[in-house]
Structure 1
């Protein structure tokens, strides 16, 4: 089992010194990587799951933050949890992601994308909320084409391209994980992704069905279902028996939230450092 941490702006704020301390502490504790979430634009009444998000929550740009984190760490893997793919043009995003990966020495291994859940956020960036799934599918395909190093000609619904190159290329290829809380997200992970990062508010039986849906979609696409990584959220007070139960469900990585003291205790309990 691998363990990573998440830096939540709603909890930790946008203080660069705090982000530095958090990332360096996680690395010293032996955690595999750090994730940052994304919201491009907020508005009053925005609700994700059971929670209303204050519109003034300081959501930092995750890719800019990961470049910053890379400059103050040496081993920590970098991830997004999740980057809202339909709200980014894949040509621009391919350049930004590859830049972070190259400058970090190939540490952007945990890029996780999702489709977004807030109609007002889609409207703020001029995206039809109903098209976000199709946009995400096409964007994933375009990103991989651009990172192939070959000229890209693509006749897509949203992102038509003719003889386009995007350099520099990622350091060693670049995995794309898919995050979400729906079976559509799970199927997207199986068809196109390198892993599935399941949402946190799912009943156990629905979790199992979604992971099986991801594996089935991989088989249908001619891909190896056993190659899919399976990431889940976990609390900082997880016990060894609970982690063993995660592993029995096929989970390969657990992402935890908490204070610096929580992370220290977790790392000590599982012998990470």
Structure 2
């Protein structure tokens, strides 16, 4: 099992010293990865499920934030949970992601993309909310095409994106493609993960039966697309106070990575929670092997 953690500037603030300290401590504890979320804009009336989102929440740009984290750390992998893919142009995004991967020496490896649920966010960037699934599918294809293309250039003709003979350099560090995981809480997201993704990271507000259905959908969609279901990674949220039995239960469901977030808000208490979790599951020993 792999273990990651998450840092949200919306919850903890965008103080650079605090972010760097959190990331370095997570790395020192042996956590595999650090995830950050995204919201491009907020507005009065925006909601996450039944909860209002205060308009002053300081959601930092996730890729800029990960570039900062990369400079403050040495080993920890960089992830998004989730990047709102329909609201990014994939030609620009391919360059930004490859650049972070090169400058971090190959650590931009847990890109997780989703569609977003705020209609006002889609309007703000000129995207038809109803089309965002199709747009995301095309964007995934464009990203991989550009990363894999050579000096002769590549072309694409789709519903949303079209170009000819484009060359995108630098390439990701040491790999032909960056992994792309799919996040979400819908069966459509699970199918997208199977057809196009390297892994699935479902949302937290699902019951056990729906989780099982979605994971099986992801695996069956992969098989139908001629892909190997066994190669899909399965990431889930976990609790900072979870025990060995909880991890064993998730492992039995096929989970390959658990991402936890401190319950505390104060930095010292967060450090203590991360340290206790790392000691409980011997993360430093696992990182050394």
Structure-1-length-normalised TM-score = 0.99
1:94-133 to structure 2, matched below 5 A, reads: 94-133=94-133
Q: Which residue of 2 aligns with 1:51?
A: 51
The answer on 1:181 being equivalent to 2:192 is no
Which string of whole-angstrom CA distances, capped at 9 and with x for unpartnered residues, describes residues 157-185 of structure 1?
A: 00011111100011123100000000000
Q: Does residue 1:228 correspond to 2:239, yes or no?
A: no
Q: How many residues align?
A: 273
Contact persistence 1:49–1:201 (CA under 8 A)? no
In 2, are the aligned partners of 1:80 and 1:113 still within 8 Å (CA)?
yes
Q: Which runs of 5+ in 2 are unaligned?
A: 263-269, 285-289
* 1:1-27 residue CA offsets vs partner (Å, 9 max, x unmatched): 000000012221110011000000000
Q: Distance in 1 between matches of 2:261 and 2:52?
A: 19
Q: Distance in 1 between matches of 2:10 and 2:139?
A: 28
2:274 is matched with 263
Query: How far is 1:49 from its partner?
Result: 2.2
Cα distance in 1 for residues equivalent to 2:22 and 2:91: 31
- Correspondence for 1:246 among 246, 250, 257: 250
**Structure 1, unpaired ranges of 5+:** none
Aligned residue for 2:222?
218
**In 1: Cα distance, 2:45 partner to 2:72 partner:** 36
Shift of residue 51, structure 1, vs aligned partner = 2.2
CA contact (8 A) 1:8 1:37 kept: yes
The 10-residue stretch of structure 1 (149-158 or 159-168) with the greater mean CA deviation from structure 2: 149-158
C-alpha displacement of 1:50: 3.1
Select which of 278, 283, 288 maps to 1:272: 283
- TM-score if structure 2 supplies the norm length? 0.93
Tell me by how many angstroms 1:114 deviates: 0.4
Separation in structure 1 between the aligned mates of residue 271 and residue 140 of structure 2, nearest angstrom: 35
Could you tell me which residue of structure 1 aligns to residue 15 of structure 2?
Answer: 15
Cα deviation digits, residues 204-238 of structure 1 (max 9, x gap): 00000000000010001000000000000011000
Cα distance in 1 between the residues matched to 2:52 and 2:154: 41
